[in-house]
Copies of this chain bind each other. A is one copy, B any other.
Amino acid sequence: MTSHAEILLSEPTLIAPVNAAKELFWRKGYDETSIEDVVCATGMNRYALYNAFGGKLELFLAVLESYFIERKNLFLTALSDPQGGPIAAIREVSEYCITEMTDRGAGCLMCDVAAEVGRYDKAVSERVLSYLEEIRSADEMALAQAEKCGDLNSAISPKEGAALLIANMLGVGAMARNGAGRQELLTVFNSCLRLLSRQSGAQNLEHRRRNPKTTTVKQVQN
């Protein structure tokens, strides 16, 4: 069951245009990105663009699928064979995502921009939920590994923890879209990960010692 979007993505010459369009949609949103913008950014002829994709919506669907595949690969490769342990792998992947967000002053393309399109097209929001479920499931497997190693907070199951991580990431995205800084987002994410990790007095003390009065460490941004 390969979708129209997936067929488009198998065409090598379309990879660059899709990536350029992705960048636009991600930064500006769906409505605010005009075909004119896409024509300029891709360098592709308007006529050729319509020939290749069909229209703006179909182009966005291709972009979405491409983003999804990319993101899925990122998560699966990092989480399936984590050298530094599953928690470290989650941190690594998530911090990468946060960087992507703050670089663009945007949230998650899949969730935020797609939610815009989901108003027209129910299939899009269903696709988004299935994507979230896949990522959540990958997180869950990582947390299950962590549980085996005794690295997971026993107050929570891998399944719940994974859902919490997803929500946290989406929340961080919403903050990014409204202009929150990288350091603030990292602090939020790290709090979440800390609570998910096995609680120990030593660990807590360690954290409190490093962050007296828990003021945020000021750091030069970008």
Residues of A within 8 A of B (CB): 28-29, 31-32, 107-108, 111-112, 114-116, 118-119, 125-126, 128-129, 132, 153-157, 159-161, 163-164, 166-175, 177-180, 184, 187-188, 191-192, 194-196, 199, 203-204, 207, 211, 213-214
Assembly CA distance A186 to B41 (angstroms) = 42
Closest chain B residue, CB of each to CB of A155? B204
Assembly CA distance A155 to B28 (angstroms) = 38
Q: A128-B178, A159-B214, A174-B174 are in contact. Are A153 and B195 (CB under 8 A)?
A: yes
- The answer to whether B175 and A174 touch across the interface, beta carbons within 8 angstroms, is no
Q: Shortest distance in angstroms between A189's beta carbon and chain B's nearest beta carbon?
A: 8
Residues of B within 8 A of A114 (CB): 178
Assembly CA distance A214 to B164 (angstroms) = 14
Residues of B within 8 A of A125 (CB): 178-179
- The answer to whether A204 and B170 touch across the interface, beta carbons within 8 angstroms, is no
Q: List 12 A-B contacts (CB under 8 A).
A: A107-B115, A111-B177, A111-B178, A112-B174, A129-B179, A155-B199, A156-B194, A160-B214, A163-B187, A164-B188, A167-B188, A174-B174
10 tightest Cβ-Cβ pairs between the two chains A and B? A167-B171, A171-B171, A157-B214, A170-B171, A170-B174, A195-B195, A115-B177, A160-B191, A155-B204, A128-B178
